[in-house]
Amino acid sequence: AAKARGKGCFQIFENRMHELLLDKLDAEGRLRDAVHRGELRLHLQPVVALPGRAVGGVEALVRWQDPERGLQQPGAFIPLAEETGLIAEIDRWVLFEACMTVRRWQELDPAAAPAWVSVNLSAVELEVPDLTDRVAYALSTTGLSPQCLVLELTETVLMRDVAVTSARLEELRELGVKIAIDDFGTGYSSLGYLRDIPVDVLKVDRSFITDIVGNPRQQELVSAVIQLGHTLGLKVVVEGIETEDQLTLLTAIGCRYAQGYYLGRPEPVAALIERTTTGSET
Ligand code: C2E
Ligand code: MG
Ligand code: MG
Ligand code: MG
C-alpha cells in the first residue's frame, strides 16, 4: 500500500513539474513577444536635490503591460528575462527609450526637464562586447548629451572580475557617461572596489533607510557612507524615502540627493511632466 501511495505521489509530483515547465515556457514566449509587440513601458522616478527638492534627474524603470495580467513590475519578469537572455533586448529598449524621452523633454522645457536619466543594466550586460557601441549609438541617435546619462550597476556585478569590469567602465566613461553603484551596501561591499573601479555615483540601498528614524546606529552608518562618498568626489543618492521624518533626518545628516515614494513615485513621462510643470507654477 505504501508503495502504491509513493507511486501516486510521484505521479502528482511529475504532473506538477510538467505544469510548471509549461507555465514557464508560456511566460517566456509571452515575454519574448512583449518586446516586439510594444508592450514594454517606461516609467520615470524623480531623484531630487536636497534641501530644495528640485528634480535633479530621473531613474528609468521598466514595466510590462501584459494584455493578460495587466501592468507587471520588474520583479515579476526581470528574473525570467535574465534567465532566458531576453534581458539584453529589454535593457536595450529601455536605454533607447529613456535617452529619447529625456532628450525630448529637455528640448520641450529645458528649465524643468531633468538634468540626467539613469538606466539600470543587468549583470550580463557588462559581458556583452558591444555595450559601449550600443550606448554610443543610443546617444548619437537621440541626441542626448553623454553627461546626461547614468548607467546603474549593482555591487555584485562590479565585483565579478575587477579587471574586465574596470576596463569596460573606463570605455563607457570615455564616452562621457556616468556610472552609478546601485543598492550600495547590500552586496559584498568592499572598499577595494571603490578604489579600483571608476564610479561617479553611489546609491545607498533603501534597506538602510527603512528603520533609520529612532535608530542612531543606522544614522551614523548612513552618515558615514554619505561622507565617504562625498570625500571621494562622488554624488550620493539615498533611495527609498517614504516619510517626511526620513527626509528631515537625511537632510540633517548631509544627504544631497534622494529618491523615494515620498518624493515621487515612478510614473509614465506624461504624468511626470504634468506634475513638474504644475509644481513649478505653485
Ligand atoms: P532599483 O534599480 O534599485 O530601483 C528602485 C526600485 O525601488 C524600484 O522598483 C522603485 O519603484 C522602488 N522604489 C523607489 N522608491 C521607493 C520607496 O520609497 N519605497 C519602496 N518600497 N520602493 C521604492 P521597481 O521599479 O519595481 O524595480 C525593481 C528593480 O528592478 C530595480 O531596482 C532594478 O534592479 C530592476 N529594474 C527596473 N527596471 C529595469 C531595467 O530596465 N533593466 C534592468 N536590468 N533592471 C531593471
Ligand atoms: Mg536602479
Ligand atoms: Mg536602486
Ligand atoms: Mg534598490
SS3 153: strand
Ion ligand 4 neighbours, Cβ < 5 Å: 183
| 11 alpha carbon – ligand 2 mean position (Å) | 43
Cis peptide before 216 (omega within 30 of 0): no
Grid cell, residue 252, equals: 540633517
Range 39-44 average pLDDT: 98
Question: Which of 40, 72, 120, 122 should be mutated for ligand 1, with most atoms under 8 A from CB?
Answer: 120
In the DSSP assignment, the letter for residue 23 is H
C-alpha cell read off for 139: 546617444
Q: pLDDT tens for residues 154-208?
A: 887 777 778 888 889 999 999 999 999 999 988 776 777 788 788 999 999 999 9
Q: How far apart (Å, rounded) are the C-alpha atoms in residues 130 and 281?
A: 44
Helices (H), 143-268: 155-158, 162-175, 191-196, 216-231, 244-252
Q: Which of 48, 61, 64, 207 to mutate to test the pocket of ligand 1 (most atoms within 8 A of CB)?
A: 61
Q: Which residues surround ligand 3, an ion (CB under 5 A)?
A: 182-183
d(CA 121, CA 124): 8
The three-state secondary structure class of 152 is strand
User: Nine-digit cell at 258?
Assistant: 534622494
- Bridge partners, residue 202, by sequence: 181, 236
pTM of the model: 0.92
Tens of pLDDT, residues 43-90: 999 999 999 999 999 999 999 999 888 999 999 999 999 999 999 999
Cα–ligand 3 centroid distance for 184 (angstroms) = 8
Pairing mode of beta strands 267-268, 257-258: unpaired
> What is the number of the ligand 1 atom nearest to the C-alpha of 241?
18
Model confidence at 278: pLDDT above 60 = no
Task: Give ipTM to 2 decimals.
Answer: 0.98
